[in-house]
């Protein structure tokens, strides 16, 4: 078991893996990482949507159908 690298996203995951309650520094680093990752991901998706609108629409409606089925199973 490596020592927890506090204040980093990796440290946050070490907390989770080791079952140690998360410290504020690691939680903050994880939030920043998620924000950065989410922002880059939506920008990349927007670019792909603009480059390949027909494929995007097809994939979107396929995923919408799957999501509806999943939600329907939960209800």
Question: Which residue has 């690298």 as its token pair?
Answer: 5
Compute the least distance from the CB of residue 35 to Zn ion, in Å. Answer: 18
Compute the least distance from the CB of residue 19 to Zn ion, in Å. Answer: 13
Nearer to Zn ion, 28 or 48 (CB): 28
Distance CA 70, CA 75 (A): 9
Compute the least distance from the CB of residue 41 to Zn ion, in Å. Answer: 25
What residues between 8 and 37 interact with Zn ion by CB under 5 A? 11, 23, 26
What burial class does residue 11 get, using C-beta atoms within 10 Å of its C-beta: 0-12 exposed, 13-18 middle, 19+ buried?
Answer: buried
């Amino acid at each position: 078991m490596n020592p927890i690298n506090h204040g980093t996203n990796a440290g946050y995951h070490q907390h989770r893996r080791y079952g140690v309650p998360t410290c504020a520094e690691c939680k903050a680093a994880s939030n920043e990482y998620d924000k950065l990752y989410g922002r880059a991901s939506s920008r990349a998706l927007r670019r792909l949507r603009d480059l390949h609108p027909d494929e995007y629409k097809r994939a979107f409606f396929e995923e919408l159908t799957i999501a509806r089925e999943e939600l329907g199973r939960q209800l």
